Structure formats: structure tokens, C-alpha cells
Amino acid sequence: MEDTPERDFGPQPLDALLTELGLENHALVSASTEQLTHKQVQKARKGRYITINIQRKVLKALNAAVPAGEDGSKPVHELGQLFNYRP
């Protein structure tokens, strides 16, 4: 596929969230129980177009990788919090 402006959505909220949490791409890849690659996570952070299937993989991996809070509960994120576009 060509690199067209319609397929580049700019930095996503996912990028800011991962930075805030101190998580790197590898944390999501290693937390994933599905086949999630570093390249897919990088594309998701930078705002390159990814399919809904990959968005869901990133979401599941993020929810698995997020550390528990002081009270022992883990925050649960939703797709709308991670991406500002829908495929």
C-alpha cells in the first residue's frame, strides 16, 4: 500500500498513554497472547492505519501489561481511549 495522507492519522492517544505508564513496545508484545509484533505496535503508536483486528490485539496486550494500582486493581482501557480513528 502507498503512504498516503489518508492512511496516516498522526500520533495516537495510545502513544501518550504508553509513555505515561512507562511502557515500551516490547511490553505489549511480550504481554500479548496473540501474534502481535513490534512493527504493529509501532504503527499503532504513530497513527499509521491498522485494522480493527490489530487494534483489538493491542488493546488486549495493553490491558494485560498495565501494572496493578496500589489497591491491587488493574485499569481497563477501551479502543476509544487508544485510537482517534476507526478502520
CA-based max dimension of the chain: 47
pLDDT at 69: 83
Block means of pLDDT (10 residues each) for the chain, 87 residues, are: 73 96 97 97 96 97 92 92 87
pLDDT at 39: 98
- 38 part of a folded domain: yes
pLDDT at 5: 65
- Which CATH number does the domain housing residue 51 bear? 1.10.260
pTM of the predicted structure, to 2 decimals: 0.89
Q: Which domain holds residue 33?
A: 5-82
Q: How far is CA 23 from CA 1, 40, 55, 63, in A?
A: 29, 15, 17, 12
- 87 part of a folded domain: no
